[in-house]
Amino acid sequence: MRIYGNKTYSEYKKDPRGVAVALGNFDGVHLGHQALVAELVKIAAEEGRQSLVYTFEKHPMEVLSGGGAGKPRLIMTNADKARIMEKLGADGIFFESFDREYAAMDCDTFAREIIRDKLGTAHAVVGSNYSFGLGGSGNPETLKKLGEKYGFKVTVIEPVTVGDTVVSSTLLRGLIATGDVGAFPEYAGRPYTVPGKVTHGRAVGRNLGFPTANITPKRGFATPADGVYATKTLVDGKIYDGATNIGKNPTFGLRTRSIETFLFDADVDLYGREIRVAFIKMLRPEIKFESPELLEKQIANDVAEAKTILARTDDPFAWL
């Protein structure tokens, strides 16, 4: 699959036959996004075209919020997004450089200059909640009218639901924020994983007999709610079962939030290494214990519960 990503379009060459393009942010590439890309690939095959996913290098709200309170936490790297799109059958992905100038573009200019002229779109595929143009003023009906004007077709995909719940990126972020990582795969098709680097920690776990790796997540990534989780960790292609604590270790009166992973039955030096942690299920919220001894006893129970859960858990990194 070809990966493009610069505002000059210097590497992108339009196909004279026209391309089929999926438009959207595709944050987390959940089941709804996967259905949309599946439709894109189908249309491209039927019409004899290349299939292209057109998305953004940065989340639009990161730019529009100025990096402030409205900035969303990441739930997927661009590399992972491209990897999944390739597995779904897309021929290419274009990461647009979203900035203030781009955000100020009106709907007509976007349809003419980007969709038609720069991408060479013959058929666009969008979700029913797709918005574009200055202030998000354009919707799928707007795009259809502009498609008639500028010579490209538009197909609109309805939302995907699981039960009565509409699958969305907002839903995924909510599950992460509340620690309900066990439900994440129902809507994303895979567990939630956090990439990061192992750094020096506070040795709290080691002093209790459960040596942990202190993880600094990739910048801007969403981390689950404070608590203890059953997790699997990917290190240099090998998967280790374990338990991960997120929080401030209130039993010891600490104030800095940390992410610490204890790998079961593993004697491996992780310091300085890039790893990825898959959050399978929350075991319990983080609580303050009356003594380190009581905490140590609870950790032993957490480990036993995590081992039971992980023994029946499939490879959470199979999508990589």
- The DSSP-derived string for 105-159 is --HHHIIIIIIIIIT-EEEEEEETT--BSGGG-B-HHHHHHHHHHHT-EEEEEPP
Ranges 197-201, 268-272, 275-279, most confident: 275-279
Q: What average pLDDT does this structure show over 299-317?
A: 96
pLDDT value of residue 208: 42
CA distance 21 to 44: 9
**What are the structural domain ranges in the chain?**
2-162, 192-311
Residue 66 reports pLDDT greater than 90? no
CATH of domain 2-162: 3.40.50.620
Cα separation, 175 vs 169, whole angstroms = 10
Read off the pLDDT of each residue in 280-299 and give the average, rounded to a whole number: 88
The pTM of the full predicted model, rounded to 2 decimals, is 0.92
Report pLDDT for 270: 86
72: pLDDT strictly greater than 90: no
pLDDT at 127: 98
User: The tokens of 62 are what?
Assistant: 């990161």
pLDDT in tens, 219-244: 889 999 999 999 999 999 999 999 99
Hey, what CATH topology would domain 192-311 get? Answer: Elongation Factor Tu (Ef-tu); domain 3 (2.40.30)
Half-sphere exposure of 53 (CA within 13 A, CB side): 35
pLDDT above 50 (res 126) = yes
Of all residues in the chain, the percent with pLDDT exceeding 90 is: 75
The whole-number average pLDDT for the span 94-99 is 92
Question: Which pLDDT belongs to residue 209?
Answer: 44
Assess whether the region 2-162 and the region 192-311 belong to the same CATH fold: no
d(Cα 112, Cα 12) in Å, to the nearest integer?
17
Q: Could you give the CA distance from residue 72 to residue 27 in angstroms, rounded to a whole number?
A: 10
